[in-house]
Amino acid sequence: MTKGLSARERRLLAACGAVLLISASTLLAKEFLDRRVNLEKTIAGLEGEKLENDAWLKDRDFLDRRKAWLEKNLPTTESLGRAQGQLLEEFQNGALDRGIKILNSQLPAAHSTANYREVGVTLKLYGEQAKILAWLATLQSPEKFYVIKALELDPDSRSREPLPQIECDVTVARWFKPDVDAAEVESED
């Protein structure tokens, strides 16, 4: 003979079923919300990427003209070492012609990328503030492909000269067309 469940047992069974249903619903909801958050992050990243790509496409004509200008005007060199020596000599002569003292000079390592090759010169200069600033103004030039990479000016407050004197640490680089062989090697990797 089978006996049915008592009212109390039916309530306990219903409560257990409700707890299992609520637990399963909570786990499913958590999984859904986690996936939703991840998808929203992915969508936000893709929307940002799309905006960036749209900006590049909008500026494509300008960028193509810039690329053509660079290909036409970017100087070439056979030897980065020779180019670096010439750059040092040019800057030393320019500084000395203006009456600027060269306290120290260094040649940072030259390096190449797929887009350009770079040589640099680091100079420690001392002289009249106006002369050094005028000389520095001549360096930044798109036609010569010079770029001032680092600049530190330190006024000399102890100087007895009638005009203000400064000490200047400057690193200037010059860019050249990339080495075709090196660019091909990098693009194959």
pLDDT tens per residue across span 3-37? 788 889 889 999 999 999 999 999 999 999 999 99
Higher pLDDT, 186 or 69: 69
Q: What is the pLDDT of residue 65?
A: 92
Flag whether pLDDT at 91 surpasses 50. yes
Higher pLDDT, 162 or 32: 32
Averaged pLDDT, 36-62: 94
Flag whether pLDDT at 121 surpasses 70. yes
pLDDT band of 114, cuts 50, 70, 90: confident
Beta strands in the chain (DSSP E): 101-106, 111-112, 117-128, 146-156, 165-176
What is the rounded distance in angstroms from the CA atom of residue 14 to the CA atom of residue 8?
A: 10
Q: What percent of the chain has pLDDT over 90?
A: 58
The top-level CATH class assigned to 77-182 is alpha beta
Flag whether pLDDT at 43 surpasses 60. yes
pLDDT band of 187, cuts 50, 70, 90: very low
What is the rounded distance in angstroms from the CA atom of residue 182 to the CA atom of residue 169?
A: 32
User: % helix / strand / coil in the chain, to the nearest 5?
Assistant: 55, 25, 20
Q: What value does the mean pLDDT of the chain take?
A: 88
Flag whether pLDDT at 46 surpasses 80. yes
Each domain of the chain, given as residue ranges in start order, spans 1-58, 77-182
What is the rounded distance in angstroms from the CA atom of residue 82 to the CA atom of residue 101?
A: 24
Flag whether pLDDT at 40 surpasses 60. yes
**Any idea which of 37-46, 115-124, 127-136, 173-182 has the lowest mean pLDDT?**
173-182
Token digits of residue 173: 């680089």
Token digits of residue 185: 């090697």
